[in-house]
Amino acid sequence: MLLKNLEKYNIVLASDSLRRQELLKELGLKFNVISSHAEESFPEAFGMTAIPEYLARLKASSVKDKMPENYLLITADTIVWDDNKVLGKPVDREDAISTLESLSGSQHQVITGMCIQTEKKEISFHAVTEVWFDNLTKEEIVYYVDKYKPYDKAGSYGIQEWIGYIGIIKIEGSFYNVMGLPVHKLYQNLKQF
Protein backbone atom coordinates (compact mmCIF):
# COMPACT_ATOMS: atom_id res chain seq x y z
CA MET A 1 0.00 0.00 0.00
CA LEU A 2 1.39 3.38 -1.00
CA LEU A 3 -0.33 5.20 1.87
CA LYS A 4 1.88 3.71 4.61
CA ASN A 5 0.30 5.97 7.24
CA LEU A 6 -2.94 4.00 6.85
CA GLU A 7 -1.51 0.50 7.34
CA LYS A 8 -2.38 0.50 11.04
CA TYR A 9 -6.10 1.05 10.33
CA ASN A 10 -8.98 -1.25 9.48
CA ILE A 11 -10.40 0.80 6.62
CA VAL A 12 -14.17 0.74 6.17
CA LEU A 13 -16.20 2.33 3.37
CA ALA A 14 -19.81 2.93 4.38
CA SER A 15 -21.39 2.84 0.93
CA ASP A 16 -23.42 0.44 -1.18
CA SER A 17 -22.30 2.30 -4.30
CA LEU A 18 -20.37 -0.02 -6.60
CA ARG A 19 -18.87 3.05 -8.30
CA ARG A 20 -17.43 4.33 -5.01
CA GLN A 21 -16.14 0.88 -4.12
CA GLU A 22 -14.40 0.51 -7.48
CA LEU A 23 -12.82 3.97 -7.30
CA LEU A 24 -11.54 3.32 -3.78
CA LYS A 25 -10.06 -0.01 -4.90
CA GLU A 26 -8.20 1.82 -7.66
CA LEU A 27 -6.40 3.84 -4.95
CA GLY A 28 -4.84 0.56 -3.84
CA LEU A 29 -6.59 0.50 -0.47
CA LYS A 30 -7.73 -2.66 1.25
CA PHE A 31 -11.09 -2.02 2.89
CA ASN A 32 -14.33 -3.56 4.03
CA VAL A 33 -17.76 -2.31 3.01
CA ILE A 34 -20.68 -1.65 5.32
CA SER A 35 -24.12 -0.25 4.48
CA SER A 36 -25.22 3.05 5.91
CA HIS A 37 -28.95 3.51 6.10
CA ALA A 38 -28.90 7.02 7.53
CA GLU A 39 -31.94 9.19 6.86
CA GLU A 40 -30.78 11.59 4.13
CA SER A 41 -32.47 14.72 5.41
CA PHE A 42 -30.84 18.03 6.25
CA PRO A 43 -31.74 21.45 7.64
CA GLU A 44 -33.42 23.63 5.00
CA ALA A 45 -31.10 26.55 5.72
CA PHE A 46 -28.04 24.58 4.57
CA GLY A 47 -26.33 25.69 1.38
CA MET A 48 -24.86 23.79 -1.52
CA THR A 49 -21.60 22.62 0.08
CA ALA A 50 -22.89 22.18 3.64
CA ILE A 51 -25.54 19.62 2.63
CA PRO A 52 -23.33 16.78 1.34
CA GLU A 53 -20.75 17.25 4.12
CA TYR A 54 -23.53 17.09 6.71
CA LEU A 55 -24.96 13.94 5.09
CA ALA A 56 -21.51 12.29 4.95
CA ARG A 57 -21.04 12.97 8.69
CA LEU A 58 -24.57 11.67 9.34
CA LYS A 59 -23.70 8.43 7.54
CA ALA A 60 -20.54 8.12 9.64
CA SER A 61 -22.42 8.56 12.90
CA SER A 62 -25.05 6.00 11.83
CA VAL A 63 -22.47 3.20 11.54
CA LYS A 64 -19.96 4.25 14.21
CA ASP A 65 -21.10 1.55 16.66
CA LYS A 66 -20.43 -1.16 14.05
CA MET A 67 -16.79 -0.24 13.52
CA PRO A 68 -13.93 -2.68 14.16
CA GLU A 69 -11.07 -1.82 16.46
CA ASN A 70 -8.66 0.75 15.11
CA TYR A 71 -10.98 1.76 12.28
CA LEU A 72 -10.72 4.43 9.62
CA LEU A 73 -14.19 5.10 8.25
CA ILE A 74 -14.86 6.76 4.90
CA THR A 75 -18.31 8.09 4.01
CA ALA A 76 -19.53 10.19 1.11
CA ASP A 77 -22.68 11.83 -0.18
CA THR A 78 -23.18 13.37 -3.61
CA ILE A 79 -25.81 15.92 -4.59
CA VAL A 80 -26.66 17.74 -7.78
CA TRP A 81 -27.33 21.45 -7.26
CA ASP A 82 -29.39 23.26 -9.87
CA ASP A 83 -31.23 26.55 -9.64
CA ASN A 84 -30.46 26.86 -5.90
CA LYS A 85 -31.96 23.50 -4.99
CA VAL A 86 -30.91 19.88 -4.53
CA LEU A 87 -31.80 17.37 -7.20
CA GLY A 88 -31.77 14.04 -5.42
CA LYS A 89 -32.31 10.54 -6.72
CA PRO A 90 -35.45 10.30 -8.84
CA VAL A 91 -38.51 8.72 -7.26
CA ASP A 92 -39.69 7.15 -10.52
CA ARG A 93 -39.38 7.21 -14.33
CA GLU A 94 -41.33 10.44 -14.77
CA ASP A 95 -39.24 12.21 -12.13
CA ALA A 96 -36.01 11.08 -13.87
CA ILE A 97 -37.26 12.35 -17.23
CA SER A 98 -38.38 15.65 -15.72
CA THR A 99 -35.04 16.13 -13.94
CA LEU A 100 -33.04 15.54 -17.12
CA GLU A 101 -35.31 17.92 -19.03
CA SER A 102 -34.51 20.60 -16.44
CA LEU A 103 -30.74 19.96 -16.76
CA SER A 104 -30.81 19.94 -20.57
CA GLY A 105 -29.07 22.92 -22.15
CA SER A 106 -27.79 24.32 -18.87
CA GLN A 107 -25.06 24.26 -16.25
CA HIS A 108 -25.29 22.73 -12.77
CA GLN A 109 -22.97 21.71 -9.94
CA VAL A 110 -22.20 18.26 -8.54
CA ILE A 111 -20.96 18.33 -4.97
CA THR A 112 -19.62 15.39 -2.98
CA GLY A 113 -19.16 15.73 0.74
CA MET A 114 -16.77 13.33 2.45
CA CYS A 115 -16.04 12.36 6.03
CA ILE A 116 -12.96 10.47 7.23
CA GLN A 117 -13.19 9.34 10.82
CA THR A 118 -11.18 7.34 13.36
CA GLU A 119 -11.71 6.92 17.08
CA LYS A 120 -9.64 10.06 17.69
CA LYS A 121 -10.08 12.26 14.65
CA GLU A 122 -12.68 13.37 12.11
CA ILE A 123 -12.35 15.57 9.06
CA SER A 124 -14.88 16.47 6.42
CA PHE A 125 -14.46 18.21 3.09
CA HIS A 126 -16.18 18.59 -0.26
CA ALA A 127 -15.48 18.84 -3.97
CA VAL A 128 -17.48 20.81 -6.53
CA THR A 129 -17.62 20.08 -10.25
CA GLU A 130 -19.37 22.32 -12.77
CA VAL A 131 -21.22 20.36 -15.48
CA TRP A 132 -22.63 21.69 -18.75
CA PHE A 133 -25.30 19.70 -20.58
CA ASP A 134 -26.05 20.11 -24.27
CA ASN A 135 -29.67 20.43 -25.37
CA LEU A 136 -31.14 16.94 -25.12
CA THR A 137 -34.17 15.80 -27.06
CA LYS A 138 -37.08 14.15 -25.29
CA GLU A 139 -36.29 11.00 -27.30
CA GLU A 140 -32.68 10.96 -26.01
CA ILE A 141 -33.80 11.46 -22.42
CA VAL A 142 -36.46 8.73 -22.58
CA TYR A 143 -34.02 6.33 -24.27
CA TYR A 144 -31.45 6.91 -21.52
CA VAL A 145 -33.91 6.59 -18.62
CA ASP A 146 -35.52 3.44 -20.05
CA LYS A 147 -32.22 1.73 -20.92
CA TYR A 148 -30.03 2.77 -17.95
CA LYS A 149 -32.67 3.24 -15.20
CA PRO A 150 -30.71 5.92 -13.28
CA TYR A 151 -32.92 5.70 -10.18
CA ASP A 152 -29.95 5.36 -7.82
CA LYS A 153 -28.19 8.48 -9.10
CA ALA A 154 -28.46 12.04 -7.86
CA GLY A 155 -29.65 14.23 -10.71
CA SER A 156 -30.93 11.15 -12.59
CA TYR A 157 -27.74 10.52 -14.56
CA GLY A 158 -24.35 8.88 -14.51
CA ILE A 159 -21.58 10.78 -16.30
CA GLN A 160 -19.88 7.47 -17.12
CA GLU A 161 -22.97 6.24 -19.01
CA TRP A 162 -24.45 6.93 -22.45
CA ILE A 163 -25.93 10.28 -21.47
CA GLY A 164 -22.50 11.48 -20.41
CA TYR A 165 -21.04 10.47 -23.76
CA ILE A 166 -23.62 12.32 -25.85
CA GLY A 167 -24.91 15.01 -23.55
CA ILE A 168 -22.14 16.58 -21.51
CA ILE A 169 -20.35 19.39 -23.32
CA LYS A 170 -17.73 20.03 -20.66
CA ILE A 171 -16.93 19.93 -16.97
CA GLU A 172 -14.74 22.00 -14.69
CA GLY A 173 -13.42 20.02 -11.76
CA SER A 174 -13.11 16.35 -11.00
CA PHE A 175 -14.73 13.83 -13.35
CA TYR A 176 -14.65 11.25 -10.55
CA ASN A 177 -16.48 13.64 -8.25
CA VAL A 178 -19.43 13.47 -10.65
CA MET A 179 -19.24 9.68 -10.34
CA GLY A 180 -19.56 10.08 -6.56
CA LEU A 181 -16.01 10.03 -5.19
CA PRO A 182 -13.52 12.90 -5.61
CA VAL A 183 -10.59 10.51 -5.65
CA HIS A 184 -7.81 13.10 -5.91
CA LYS A 185 -9.11 15.14 -2.97
CA LEU A 186 -9.71 11.98 -0.93
CA TYR A 187 -6.16 10.77 -1.63
CA GLN A 188 -4.66 14.13 -0.61
CA ASN A 189 -6.63 14.09 2.67
CA LEU A 190 -5.68 10.47 3.39
CA LYS A 191 -1.99 11.32 2.82
CA GLN A 192 -2.25 13.97 5.53
CA PHE A 193 -4.33 11.87 7.93
pLDDT tens-digit readout, 99-124: 999 999 999 999 999 999 999 999 99
Q: How confident is the model at residue 44 (pLDDT cuts 50, 70, 90)?
A: confident
CA distance 142 to 146: 6
Return the pLDDT at 107.
Answer: 98
Return the pLDDT at 2.
Answer: 72
Say which of 77, 83, 92, 95 is annotated catalytic: 77
How long a stretch of residues is the chain?
193
Asked if residues 128 and 111 have their Cβ atoms less than 8 Å apart, the reply is yes
CATH of the domain at 96: 3.90.950.10
Residue 77 known to be catalytic? yes
Asked if residues 135 and 106 have their Cβ atoms less than 8 Å apart, the reply is no
Question: In which domain, by residue range, is 152 found?
Answer: 4-192
The yes-or-no verdict on residue 43 having pLDDT over 80 is: no
Mean per-residue pLDDT over the chain, rounded? 94
- Residue 175 dihedral angles phi and psi, to the nearest 5°: -60, -45
Q: Span 116-137, mean pLDDT?
A: 97
Stated pTM of the model: 0.92
Number of structural domains found in the chain: 1
Q: What is the pLDDT of residues 158-181, one digit of tens each?
A: 999 999 999 999 999 999 999 999
Return the pLDDT at 1.
Answer: 60
